[in-house]
Structures are given as structure tokens and as C-alpha cells.
Amino acid sequence: MTAGHRSAVVLAAGDSRRLGVPKQLLPYRETTLLGATLDMVRSCGFDQIVVALGKNAEAVRDRVDLAGVDAVEVEASSSGCGSSLRTAVAAVNPLADGLVLFLGDQPGIAPTTVGRLMSAAEDGPGAAAQIVVTRYRGRAGHPFWLDRTVFPAVTRLGDKGLWKLIASGRYRTATVEVDTAVPRDVDTWDDYIDLLSAAPT
């Protein structure tokens, strides 16, 4: 692809069942977990940012700065990431050749990593790839680049289906290797404590 309209999708519709409270609203640095993630994504220079929200959408809108963000609500958020992806992909600007996919509870992704991913999709060996995967010391993680040609398959995915799609071999795939550990995300209180302890002050 050539450099053009750049869209990002942030998945933040989870019900936080293991935590018992909306993880999107957990305090993190001077904002919330989702707020910090959105600040990181904003710093990457996207033309469009879509965030998928779930049953806690009203509380998120009240407490998280969504300026410049296209917030969409996922009706079946409890069914997993598949429904979030379907809803978010439908909101991606038609001028975009694809999207970069982020998790709403992973604020520690380095903007330089995002830049390398976009360069691989636009100019590098991944330019002919339909999917570009970030690999942290050999372990796959977010963000991903998904070309628009993959969108029809993405809209049919169930929970965890994206990982199966990447592993299926049906699409041309490239990787960006990063020599750090996978950035922390938050599913449990221990994850949150670990994230807080690692946060720069």
C-alpha cells in the first residue's frame, strides 16, 4: 500500500468480568487505563481513531476524553472480540486502505513500534502483505495491521478468531520484530498492579 488515510481501531468493549469493575476506568497515571491508551494512539498521527465500547459506554463517555475519537457501541459486547471488531470495522473511513488494531488496556505500546508497523505496511517488505504482526522477542502481540482486503473475513470472526485468521495461512503476512517484552495488558488485579508498578513516574 501507499501512505494515505490512516485509521486505528481500539477495542475497549470488554465487560471486565475477572476484575469486577470496568477496567477502562481504572486510574492510570493522570487519566484512566483507556484514556492513557487513547493518548498513546493519538500520538501516532492517525487520521481516524475508532474506539469500540461495550456495556460501560455511558460511564466511559463521562470519564474518558474521547475528543477526536469515533466512539461506537457494541451491542453484543459480552460475546467477545468478534462482535467488537465487526462494529468497529464498519466505522473505518472508506478512504483507509486498512487499520491498525490496538487493545484498550495496553497503554505501554511504544509509538515507535506503531511507526515501524505502519512503515512495514506502507513501504517495507510488508507492503505486499495483508496482515502485519508485531512480534515481541518472538511472541506475537498487538498492534496488528489489517489490510482492507481482510475486512470481510474479520467481520465473520468469533471470539479469538483473529488469532486463528492470522495463523490460517490464507493471507499474506509479514512481521515486525521488537526487542522488548509484550506490553502489559490488564485482565486481573495482579495485571493492574504489575502495570502500575512498571509505569514511569
Q: In this structure, is residue 146 part of a structural domain? A: yes
Confidence of residue 127 (pLDDT cuts 50, 70, 90): low
Residue 52 has φ and ψ, to the nearest 5°, of: -95, 120
Q: In this structure, is residue 18 part of a structural domain? A: yes
Q: Where are the beta strands (DSSP E) in the chain?
A: 7-12, 27-28, 31-32, 48-53, 70-73, 98-103, 131-136, 139-147, 173-178
Question: Comparing 71 with 16, which gets the higher pLDDT?
Answer: 71
Q: In this structure, is residue 24 part of a structural domain? A: yes
Q: In this structure, is residue 2 part of a structural domain? A: no
pTM of the model: 0.90
Give the mean pLDDT of 87-109: 93
Q: In this structure, is residue 1 part of a structural domain? A: no
CA distance 23 to 104: 9
- The 10s digit of each residue's pLDDT in 132-162 is 999 999 899 999 999 999 998 888 876 567 8
Exposed / middle / buried, residue 112 (Cβ in 10 Å: 0-12, 13-18, 19+): exposed
Can you give the CATH number for the domain in which 62 is found?
A: 3.90.550.10
Q: In this structure, is residue 166 part of a structural domain? A: yes
The domain of 107 spans 7-198
For a pLDDT cut of 70, what percent of the chain falls above it? 90
Q: Is the pLDDT of residue 40 over 90?
A: yes
DSSP state letter for 3? S
Domain tally, the chain: 1
Q: In this structure, is residue 115 part of a structural domain? A: yes
